[in-house]
């Protein structure tokens, strides 16, 4: 009896240990990593946002960092800092933080900072970006019928034109936009660029969506404005999916491939069934 009690206790102890060991999550290394945070200011149309990403070095390679507790602050000209909100990054280390227009209203310049307070895995980390706010507008000029033109104007918040800023014009496509015209254009004294659209591109239902972009500018960040147009040439469906082909599904076989074999099979098997029937006829012959 005594032995049995001892055995029971041991078994119970082992089972409890095993249970805890399996159900608890992995115990991670205690060494803290240094995460690198990057912040970019983007304005798409009328929407402001911050593109934030973080990575850290593991085994000499950079790996996305996602277990960060990020706080986003704004700092304005009078050096006052306000907390805007928090952000959790996705598994690939990227995140998007919306900045409402209220926050940038009436301001000339603004600075955003992203801070991660020290956590179990990561040391404290932060980064900031300071930008001068600007407005980019663009229209499609159809005066000249043969050559439509995109006219884009860049001004600051007080409607003062900004000269000599690099702009790019692109056409939206599935995986990446296609550059239109020159590699880059620079705004003139009136803060304008004029880009003729010389190449005819196809668009679904005639729709083509162009973008005018200030790409990762040190002062202004990234600003993008969109122009919708109907300049797209018609798309012809080149697939044979709806046709009867030798590479189609069974019900879309060419008619010849359906009719001829079936006729042969039908004709031959009709004869065969009759021949089998003949066997029956022979067996049923009455003795004369």
Partner 1 sequence: MKEKDQETRRNFISNGLKLGLLTAIGGVAVAKSLNEEKMVELMDTDGNIIKVPVSKVEEHSSIKGDNYNTREGFPNKKFVMVIDLARCKNAKQCQSACNKAHFIPGDNAWLKIYKMQDNEQSAPYWMPNLCQHCDQPACVKVCPVDATFKRRDGIVLIDNERCIGCRFCMAACPYSVRVFNWSEPNQGEVKMDMGMDMDMDMTHSKYTPDYAGVPSVRGTVDKCDFCPHMIAEEKLPHCVSACPNGVYFFGDLYEDSVTNGAETFQFSKLIKDNAGYRLMEDLGTMPSVYYLPAKNRQEDFESGLENYTEFESVQKVKES
Partner 2 sequence: MKSYEQLTNDLAPKKFGLYGKLWIGFLSVIILGAVYAYYLQFTRGLEITGMRDYSLWGIYISNFVFFVAISLVGSLVTAILRLSGVTWATPLTRISEIIAVAAIIMGGLTIIIDMGRPDRIYNLFLHGRLQSPIVWDVIVVTTYLTISLLLLFYPLLPDFHILSKKFKANVKLSKIYAKLSLNWTGDAAQTSIYKWSISTLSVLIIPVAFGIHTVTAWLFAATYRPGWDSSNFGPYFIAGAFVAGAGGVIALMYILRRTHHLEEYITDFHFDKMGKLLVLLILVYIYFNVNEYLVPALKTTEKEVGHLKALFYGEEAWLFYTVILGGLVFPAIALLFKGMRKPLPIFIIAVIVVLGAWWKRYIIVIPTLLHPFLPVQGVPESWHHYSPTHLEWLITWGTLAGAMLIVTLLVRYVPIIPIHETAEERGIEEPKNETNDEK
Q: Could you say whether residue 272 binds partner 2 (CB under 8 A)? A: yes
Using the 8-state DSSP alphabet, how is residue 204 labeled?
Answer: G
With CB cut-offs between 5 and 8 Å by kind, which of partner 2, partner 1, none does residue 268 bind?
partner 2
Q: Name which of residues 180 to 209 contact partner 1 (CB under 8 A).
A: 199, 201-204
206 is written with which tokens?
Answer: 């005639």
What is the rounded distance in angstroms from the CA atom of residue 162 to the CA atom of residue 15? Answer: 73
With CB cut-offs between 5 and 8 Å by kind, which of partner 2, partner 1, none does residue 282 bind?
partner 2
Shortest CA distance to 148 belongs to which of 229, 235, 225?
229
Q: Which stretch binds partner 1 (CB under 8 A): 54-62, 114-122, 177-185, 272-280?
A: 177-185
Q: Could you say whether residue 63 binds partner 2 (CB under 8 A)? A: no
Shortest CA distance to 209 belongs to which of 134, 147, 154, 150?
150
Q: Measured from the CB atom, is 84 or 227 closer to partner 1?
A: 84
Q: Which of 81, 184, 230, 240 binds partner 1 (CB under 8 A)?
A: 240
Q: Please, which residues have CB within 8 angstroms of residue 151's CB and are 6 or more apart in sequence?
A: 138, 139, 140, 141, 192, 193, 194, 195
Q: Measured from the CB atom, is 100 or 278 closer to partner 2?
A: 278
Distances (CA, A) of 23 to 12, 27, 29, 85, 95: 17, 12, 18, 34, 31
Shortest CA distance to 43 belongs to which of 215, 227, 228, 191?
215
Q: Could you say whether residue 243 binds partner 1 (CB under 8 A)? A: no
With CB cut-offs between 5 and 8 Å by kind, which of partner 1, partner 2, none does residue 90 bind?
partner 1
Q: Name which of residues 225 to 264 contact partner 2 (CB under 8 A).
A: 246-250, 253-254, 257-258, 261-262
Q: Which of 83, 118, 246, 268 binds partner 1 (CB under 8 A)?
A: 246
What is the rounded distance in angstroms from the CA atom of residue 72 to the CA atom of residue 86? Answer: 6
Using the 8-state DSSP alphabet, how is residue 77 labeled?
Answer: T
Q: Name which of residues 22 to 51 contact partner 1 (CB under 8 A).
A: 22-23
User: In angstroms, what is the minimal distance from the CB of 173 to partner 2?
Assistant: 32
Q: Name which of residues 65 to 124 contact partner 2 (CB under 8 A).
A: none
Q: Which of 147, 194, 219, 278 binds partner 2 (CB under 8 A)?
A: 278
> How many CB atoms lie under 10 A from the CB of residue 231?
17
Q: Taking the mean position of all CA atoms in its chain, how far away is CA 236? A: 27
Distances (CA, A) of 154 to 6, 164, 185: 84, 10, 12
Q: Measured from the CB atom, is 7 or 230 closer to partner 1?
A: 7
Q: Please, which residues have CB within 8 angstroms of residue 95's CB and are 6 or more apart in sequence?
A: 51, 52, 53, 70, 87, 88, 89
- Binding footprint of partner 2 on the chain (CB under 8 A): 246-250, 253-254, 257-258, 261-262, 265, 268-269, 271-272, 275-276, 278-279, 281-285, 287-288
- Binding footprint of partner 1 on the chain (CB under 8 A): 4, 7-8, 11-12, 14-15, 18-19, 21-23, 85, 87-91, 95-98, 171, 173-179, 199, 201-204, 235, 237-241, 246-250
């Amino acid at each position: 009896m005594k032995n049995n009690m001892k055995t029971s206790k041991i078994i119970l102890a082992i089972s409890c240990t095993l249970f805890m060991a399996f159900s608890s999550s992995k115990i991670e290394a205690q060494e803290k990593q240094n995460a690198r945070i990057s912040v970019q200011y983007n304005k798409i149309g009328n929407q402001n946002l911050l593109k934030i990403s973080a990575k850290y070095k593991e085994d000499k390679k950079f790996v996305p960092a996602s277990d960060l507790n990020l706080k986003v602050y704004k700092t304005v000209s009078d050096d006052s800092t306000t907390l805007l909100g928090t952000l959790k990054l996705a598994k690939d280390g990227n995140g998007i933080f919306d900045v409402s227009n209220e926050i940038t209203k009436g301001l000339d310049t603004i600075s955003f900072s992203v801070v991660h307070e020290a956590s179990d895995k990561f040391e404290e980390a932060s980064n900031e970006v300071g930008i001068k706010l600007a407005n980019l507008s663009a229209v499609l000029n159809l005066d000249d019928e043969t050559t439509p033109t995109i006219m884009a104007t860049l001004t600051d918040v007080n409607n003062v034109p900004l000269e000599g800023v690099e702009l790019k014009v692109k056409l939206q496509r599935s995986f990446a936009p296609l550059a239109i015209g020159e590699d880059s254009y620079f705004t003139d004294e009136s803060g304008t660029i004029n880009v003729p659209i010389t190449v005819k591109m196809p668009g679904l239902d005639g729709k083509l969506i162009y973008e005018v972009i200030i790409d990762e500018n040190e002062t202004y960040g990234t600003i993008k404005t969109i122009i919708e147009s109907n300049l797209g040439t018609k798309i012809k469906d080149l697939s044979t999916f709806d046709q009867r082909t030798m590479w189609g599904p069974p019900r879309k076989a060419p008619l010849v491939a359906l009719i001829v074999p079936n006729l042969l099979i039908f004709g031959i098997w009709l004869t065969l069934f009759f021949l089998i029937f003949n066997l029956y006829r022979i067996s049923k012959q009455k003795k004369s």
